[in-house]
Amino acid sequence: MKMNKLSQNKIIQIFEIFKQANPEPTTELIFKTPFELLVSVVLSAQATDVGVNKATAKLFKVANTPEDILALDLGGLEEYIKSIGLYKTKAKNIIGLCKILLDKYNSQVPDSFEQLLELPGVGRKTANVVLNTLFGHNLIAVDTHVFRVSNRIGLTHGKNVAEVETQLMQNIPVKYQCNAHHWLILHGRYICKARAPQCSACPINKYCNFFIF
């Protein structure tokens, strides 16, 4: 059954509740530098943040710059990330992006969407996460949590990631857009879960189209 679109007033109420509960939300990936975040986000595709953090805790102690990663070589990098799904492909991508960062950007993470997309393993979602988290751009990366929550509660009615991203940027007031990505992920991860949403404990249930009193 298709849910009705939330009114602008309800959307504002939802994000005010998120803001009051968590004024400065951020990623649960653990990082100290822009490069560490970039690598962590690349590793996080089809993996949990918890799993990524366990692997990078060991990796970043010995290699947390493009130069250090390249010194490990492909086989050495794989040993550190082999607990993560698709680790062989991700290792190749990380080696590739390290070479580009070293050759073109003086080992710095670029703050351009187009430049980020040139890096192996970096798609639209990853670029949005990096630009939003590191540089404060008003962008919303749509992962499985954001996609599910947005459609479930009535923020969007998108059939694919691109539609949901476009609708979120249209429907969410600008003043909430920078943090919206993190709020929606956290809500989906801990409250609005895929199989057993905790509706009775949800702080936004009276504004949500999914919840039935």
CA nearest to 130, candidates 115, 143, 111? 111
Cα three-residue angle 80-81-86, rounded to 5 degrees: 155
**148/193 Cα distance (integer angstroms):** 9
Contact 207/18 with Cβ under 8 angstroms?
Answer: no
**167/47 Cα distance (integer angstroms):** 26
> Would you give the end-to-end CA distance of the chain in angstroms?
17
Distance from CA of residue 40 to its chain's centroid? Answer: 10
What are the tokens at 136?
């404060």
**106/102 Cα distance (integer angstroms):** 5
Give catalytic residues, as residue numbers.
125, 143
Contact 141/129 with Cβ under 8 angstroms?
Answer: yes
